[in-house]
Every structure is written in C-alpha cells, then in structure tokens.
Structure 1
Amino acid sequence: MEKIRKLARENQRKAREIIAELDIEGAWKTIGAEPRLVGSLRMGLLTKHRDIDFHIYSEPVDLAESFRAVARLAAHPAVEKIECTNLLHTKEACVEWHARYRDASGERWQIDMIHIRKGSRYDGYFERMADRISAVLTEPQRDTILRLKYETPDDEHIMGVEYYRAVIQDGVDTYARFAEWRKRNPVTGIVHWMP
C-alpha cells in the first residue's frame, strides 16, 4: 500500500507543479473568470490516472474570451493538444476544454477545464461534492480508493465518483467487488451523488 500512497503523493505534487507552470488559474483570471480546482486532485485522491480538473465560472461565458484564456495555455511548448466542445446552449451551459500536456519525463497529463456560466445548474456542485467526500472520507476508505484506482487497467475509463460512491456508500473493498458493483450501477451521464 505504501507504494500506491507514494505514487499518489508524487503525482499530486507533479499536478500542482503543472498548474503553477502553466499558470492555469492566472490564464482564466485574465478574462475575469473564477477558476476552482475540482476532482481527485482537490480531494487528494489522484493516483495513476494523470488528470487535472478545473471548473471556471463567469457571467456571461463569452466564447471569444474563453478562447483567449486557453490561447495562453496553448502557447506553452509542453501543451500538445487542446480540444473544445461548446455546450453553452445545453442545460450544462458550459464550454469544455481538454488539453494534453507532456511533462519533462514524457508522461502525458489530461487537463480538463470546464468554463461554466455562473449561476447555472452546476455552479459549485462538484466543489460541494468534493468537499463533502473529503469531510466524510476515512483513512481506510482513502487507501481503498487509491488501491482500486491503482488496480484499474490503464485502458479502462472509470469516473472518480464511481470509486467514491462504491467505497463510501456501499463498502466495496476489492477490485472484483468493484467490477460487480459497476455492473449493478451503470453510469449513463453525470452522476448526481454525494455522501
């Protein structure tokens, strides 16, 4: 277990270095938006899947301004690719940005930045979810989540909330039980759960 904890600590340290190196928060603040860290890094549950998640809020969400903020990140030589999905005219009321970053050791990182209209349906929801999970999470549950994430095959895509719900709500403690739990609890979209 110590090997997994060490990997988690190291990847979380690297993630924070990447945030600072790219000045992700500063890029969004230049357009008057408010960036907030969400996801596994916020909760200290980032393990081997190298991803960094931000939700960014402004009112309105101006697409041209959103592009201007991301252009600052795209100028960095370690940023290899950026994709955009415009969901401003959906109930999500956002623009999804997905950047791929290659660190000095050659490892690829996914940086997801969701630019959300302030006051819309998901304003603050995932921050509250992360803070609630952090508040109730025990150390044995943390270790279980880190271990399950570590044991997940690299080509398997599993949402973080699936691990958290399975372990915290239903006491899942092995990867085999987690696989069975997922069959009984299929994800069909955004998961609205918090402990």
Structure 2
Amino acid sequence: MEDILETAKQIEEEAWSVIDETGVINHWSSIGATINLVGSLKTGLLINNRDIDFHIYTNPFNLSDSFLAISGLAENKRIKTVSYSNLLDAEDKCIEWHAFYDDQNGNSWQIDMIHILNESPYAGYFERVAERISKVLTKETREAILRIKKAIPTDKKVMSIQIYKAVIEDGVRSIEGFWRWEKQNQNEGIITWVP
C-alpha cells in the first residue's frame, strides 16, 4: 500500500524546487511586496494538483508593479503561459495571476499569485485559514484528506477547502463518503469556513 504521507512529502519537495527555480518570491520581493504562501503547500496537503498558491500585498498597491513582478517571472523559459484577471472592482479586490511552469520531469505546475488590495475583505484571511488547518490536523485527518484528494479524478473540479471541512468538521474518511457529503453541501463561490 502506498505511503500517502511519503508521496505528499515528495511532491512538496518538488513544489519547493519550482519556487526556487522560478524565483517567484524574489520577483515579488523586488517590488517591495509581502508574499505569503497559502493553500495546500502551506498546510502540507499538496498531493494531486501541482498547484502553488501565494497571496501578495503591496503598500501602496500599484498595478504596474504587479506587471513588473510578473515580467521578471515570465523570463524563465519554463514558464509557458501567464494569465491575468482584474478583480479590483469585485468583492475580492485583487489581481489574479496564474503562471504555468513545466518542470524538468515534464510535470506542469500552476502558480497562483493573488495580488490583493489591503482593503480587501480577504486581506490576510486565507493565511489565517491555512494556519488554523495546520494547527488542527492530526495524522489521521491528514492521511484522510490526502487519500480523498488523490482519489478525485483530475478532470473533476473540487475546492480543497471542501475536503478539509468534510474531514475535519464532519468526520468524512473516504472518497465515497466525500461524494455523499458534497451532494448534501453544495457551495458556490468563496468558502469562508475556518476550523
């Protein structure tokens, strides 16, 4: 039987290599930004989707600085695509950047960089969520989350936070249990659950 914790540890090491090789933290730091790791890599729950999440803050916010940081990142020849969404007038009050990086093993990584206005209601919020999840995880819940995440087909979109809530709050321990839980807990948009 596969050691799911060992597999997760290996993918986590690969993710840190991607962060180092792209210099993503340095590119944002060069414009005076604070760059915070959030999401699955931050909580030690990265397994299937090669997805690295950062929330970024600058004071003052300057859109051209955001482009400057991304232009430096895009000079890396392994960055194959970059997409941009301007959500400054939306509830989120942010700029979303998504960069796609092909590593030397042929794996494609998505690097999500959300440049958030300081007055956004989500400023610092997901950093606190990641911190709380990390604090309440046990070996059993970590393994359950990783097994469920690994069992989800790659073409099926499921927000990780749904899995965390199902396992941590509602005691779900299997993919079958998760599918049942998901049917009863339909959710649209941003999920604001904190354990």
- Tell me by how many angstroms 1:49 deviates: 1.0
**Residue 34 of structure 2 corresponds to residue 47 of structure 1:** no
Aligned to 2:96: 96
Q: Which runs of 4+ in 1 moved over 6 A?
A: none
- Cα distance in 1, alignment partners of residues 88 and 59 from structure 2: 12
Asked if 1:181 corresponds to 2:181, the answer is yes
- CA–CA separation in structure 1 for the residues paired with 2:187 and 2:66: 29
For 1:13, what is the secondary structure of its paired residue? helix
Q: Normalised by the size of structure 1, how large is the TM-score? A: 0.97
Letter in 2 for 1:136: V
d(CA) in 2 for partners of 1:50, 1:133 = 20
Contact 2:99 2:112 (8 Å CA) reproduced: yes
Alignment gaps of 5+ in structure 1: none
Matched residue of 2:3: which SS?
A: helix
- Whichever residue aligns with residue 157 of structure 1, its letter is K
Q: Deviation of residue 90 (structure 1)?
A: 1.7
Pairwise CA distance, 1:119: 3.7
Write the mapping of 1:7-46 to structure 2, written as runs, cut at 5 A. 7-46=7-46
Offset, 1:2:
3.9
Q: CA RMSD in A?
A: 1.0
Q: Offset at 1:6?
A: 2.2
**Is contact 1:61-1:94 (8 Å) kept?**
no
SS at 1:76 equivalent: coil
Post-superposition Cα deviations, 1:134-177, rounded to whole Å, max 9, x if no partner, equal: 11111100000000011111111111101100000000011111
Aligned residue type for 1:79: I
Shift of 1:91: 2.0
One-letter identity of the residue aligned with 2:103? D
Counterpart of 2:171 in structure 1 is 171
Please tell me whether the aligned partners of residues 95 and 114 of structure 1 are also in contact (alpha carbons under 8 angstroms). Answer: yes
Give the aligned residue type for 1:130. Answer: A
Please report how far the alpha carbon of residue 23 of structure 1 lies from its aligned counterpart in structure 2 after TM superposition: 1.1
Structure 2: gaps of 5 or more residues: none
The alpha-carbon deviation at position 93 of structure 1 amounts to 1.0
Q: Given that residues 7 and 48 in structure 1 are in contact (C-alpha distance below 8 angstroms), is that contact kept between their aligned partners in structure 2?
A: no
Letter in 2 for 1:138: T
- Write out aligned runs for 1:1-195 (5 A): 2-195=2-195
Deviations 1:89-119 (A, max 9, x none): 1221100000110000111011100000124
Q: Which amino acid aligns with 1:142?
A: R
**For 2:64 and 2:18, how far apart are their aligned partners in 1?**
25
Q: What is the CA distance between 1:45 and its match in structure 2?
A: 0.4
Distance 1:99 1:149 in 2: 22
Tell me, yes or no, if the aligned pair for 2:35 and 2:54 is still in contact at 8 Å: yes
Contact persistence 2:94–2:120 (CA under 8 A):
no
- Mapped partners of 2:11, 2:109: distance in 1: 10
State the distance in 2 between where 1:59 and 1:177 align.
44
Q: Post-superposition shift, 1:186?
A: 1.4
